[in-house]
Amino acid sequence: MIALKMFPRRNARLLSVIGFTLLIILMLYKISGPLDGSKSFELEPGTEQARSKSARDDSPDLLTQSPEHLKKQKEYENRIMANIKKMSVHKELKRKMDHDPVGIILHKKPSLLDGLGRVNDLEEQDTAIRKSVVMENQLKHRIVHLDLKGAPPKIEYLKKLFPLLHSFGATGLLLEYEDMFPYWGKLEFLSAENAYAKGDIADIIEIAKRNSLEVIPLVQTFGHMEHVLKLKEFSELREVPNYPQVICPTNNKTLSLIKMMIDQILEMHPGIDWLHIGSDEVYNLGECTRCQQYLLHQQFGKSDLFLHHVKKVAKYVKDNYDIQPIMWDDEFRKIPLRAIQDSQVGQLLEIMVWKYSTGIMVDLHSDIWEKYSSVFSGVWIASAFKGAANPESYITNINDRLSNHKEWMEIFDMYKNTIPFRGIVLTGWQRFDHFAVLCELFPQAIPSLAVNLMYISERKADHGALARVGDVLKCNSFINLDLQYMEYPNKCDFPGSAVYEVSQKLFILKRDIDTMLHNPHVTGWVSDYNIENNFASPQHVEQGLQDLSMLLFDFTKLMTDAETALADVYDEYTVKEWISLNIKPTHDKLQKLYASSTKLQEKKYWPRRPLDTEQNKEL
């Protein structure tokens, strides 16, 4: 039995509108120029109309770009328009094959009458076309990000997880160790007390190799260095004394520290092809006195300082290890093309373009892609299958993550003939940064990862595709894509599925508790004021909190279930942190409310107003 809900394909419509609008604008200018009486658009330098206007105005300075650059830009635009036109050919096929269901019920296999036969018929009719689309739309590298900071999964769990990732179609791992890496010597204090041992790192690499998963380590070298700069021993390297996020690029000790970190990471990862050197969100740049003096002396801007530092780091990796460094792209978005070209950093780096929400085409417009295509020989894209909602979120909404991946695939389709795409990294953040609380844990997001990896490979997320995901995950109940429609937990059997089930139960229980607390009987008769003064109508208290005993019982049981489920994946410290963040506060609140409601209902006689409050006693 299939449960569906169709959502409008906004992205496809948006793409069609953009393409149609561009064509109309080009036709208007080509035929007649701007409409009379309206404010005209600026003519692009180098176009035929611009040259004519320049001749009429005797203003040769208007031609600011070389003919070679104009020719290249025109060719680039033509390729983009060709891609848009080509994408429209498959629009109808995608509409048929790529619905947006809320989920699918798997306890009874869909029959032909339930709709699977219709999908199979479409597949048979369009086999040749669909195979062609999938092949040309395939990304070679499909890398899964493991954010390990502050909460390392047990090695025994990873032994079960990695084969599953391979079965989903993953080709590699981006391992962000942070304080979970076993640094030694002068760097020993960079490691958390519950960090992996050297033998654990060797095991991780071996397990990944057995499952054909290429390993790419990630080490931060500029921003997000909190795990280093929080320590007294390295505090002098902060760009801003009170902020341990960004390292000072002009401090003489900075580069030697970063080189030592890279040396130890690479010593433990022999034979790798890529190293990710981070460098995203460098919010504090060129702010210390030393950096400001350096900028003044070198006549540098802050962008030049950024490029100068990352170039030295990338050159060290490439020259000493013959390994290709990769960097996050966000700082490059605001740096002019000429500055990047002059730095020659593109000869050393590959770029990883990240965006975890929707609106990718708006935020990452064509100028950015043109800049990257002219500078970098390798471009990666980075989506998110979890951990990109809120810093305190504990459960993943798959539909949000799927929307992000659908937009990324549209970007890929649009630019694949002009951008040297290497592959995609599906990020899965465990904390927003070193100091942040735990957000969405990996096991509860495995269904999201499976759905999105399948979509990247097949460009499908219809009920047939979801049924195959359910089979791989050994699910026998409803696979939910949107949290707002969740009525009961999904039942599956994959590594960490107990954490997945606990997270769903917690979401449902918190929603039920919130509904109870916003009941008019509670808001009107069991407020803090009523409880403080022990003054309420027993009947309203009873009616408003009739589900309280059951919810408290369920929450108490959930705490025990959570401890057991989490202990199969994480160490005792992670288990305690997750319980303290997500269950204990609500459990304590329910217990306190239960005690207060009992007291309110036991009262038989009440005083006249005004009530004798603590505030009145003080008066």
Instruction: Name the pairing type of β-strands 274-276 and 172-176.
Output: unpaired
Domain final position from 91, 112, 147 = 91
Q: Are residues 604 and 504 in the same domain?
A: yes
105 pLDDT more than 60: no
Q: Are residues 552 and 612 in the same domain?
A: yes
Q: Are residues 513 and 606 in the same domain?
A: yes
* Contact assessment for residue 205 and residue 175, using Cβ atoms and an 8 Å cutoff: no
Q: Are residues 474 and 514 in the same domain?
A: no
Q: Are residues 508 and 609 in the same domain?
A: yes
How is residue 74 annotated by DSSP?
Answer: H
Distance CA 79, CA 66 (A): 20
* Closest to 427 in 3D by CA, of 276, 554, 533: 276
The number of folded domains in the chain is 3
Distance CA 453, CA 279 (A): 26
pLDDT of residue 27: 54
pLDDT tens for 412-463 read 999 999 999 999 999 999 999 999 999 999 999 999 999 999 999 999 888 8
155 pLDDT more than 50: yes
How is residue 99 annotated by DSSP?
Answer: -
Q: Are residues 31 and 64 in the same domain?
A: yes
The answer as to whether 418 is a domain residue is: yes
Q: Are residues 573 and 463 in the same domain?
A: no
The answer as to whether 602 is a domain residue is: yes
**The amino acid at 279:** S
* Closest to 216 in 3D by CA, of 159, 145, 156: 145
Average pLDDT (268-274) is: 98
Catalytic residue annotation: 281
Distance CA 499, CA 392 (A): 17
pLDDT of residue 619: 44
pLDDT tens for 168-197 read 999 999 999 999 999 999 999 999 999 999
Pick the range with the lowest mean pLDDT from 111-115, 131-135, 508-512, 578-582.
111-115
Report residue 129's pLDDT band, with 50, 70 and 90 as the boundaries.
very low
Q: Are residues 96 and 69 in the same domain?
A: no
The answer as to whether 294 is a domain residue is: no
Q: Give burial (CB, 10 Å; 0-12/13-18/19+) of 466.
A: buried
Average pLDDT (350-357) is: 97
Question: Of 106-120, 254-268, 599-613, where does the model show the most confidence?
Answer: 254-268
Q: Are residues 82 and 96 in the same domain?
A: no
Cis peptide before 610 (omega within 30 of 0): yes
pLDDT of residue 65: 58
Strands, E assignment, 341-495 = 350-354, 379-386, 421-428, 479-480
The answer as to whether 172 is a domain residue is: no
pLDDT of residue 69: 64
Q: Are residues 363 and 376 in the same domain?
A: yes
pLDDT of residue 21: 56
Domain final position from 58, 91, 124 = 91
* Average per-residue pLDDT for the chain: 85
Report residue 344's pLDDT band, with 50, 70 and 90 as the boundaries.
very high
Average pLDDT (527-535) is: 95
pLDDT of residue 371: 96
CA distances from 160 to 155, 172, 497 (A): 9, 16, 12
The answer as to whether 367 is a domain residue is: yes
* Contact assessment for residue 145 and residue 426, using Cβ atoms and an 8 Å cutoff: yes
Report residue 74's pLDDT band, with 50, 70 and 90 as the boundaries.
confident
Q: Are residues 48 and 108 in the same domain?
A: no
Percent of the chain with pLDDT over 90: 73
SS3 307: helix
SS3 419: coil
285 pLDDT more than 60: yes
Q: Concatenate the DSSP letters of all residues of 487-499 into one string.
A: -S-----STTHHH
Average pLDDT (11-35) is: 51
Q: Are residues 520 and 424 in the same domain?
A: no
What is the extent of the structural domain holding 48? 10-91
Domain final position from 38, 62, 91 = 91
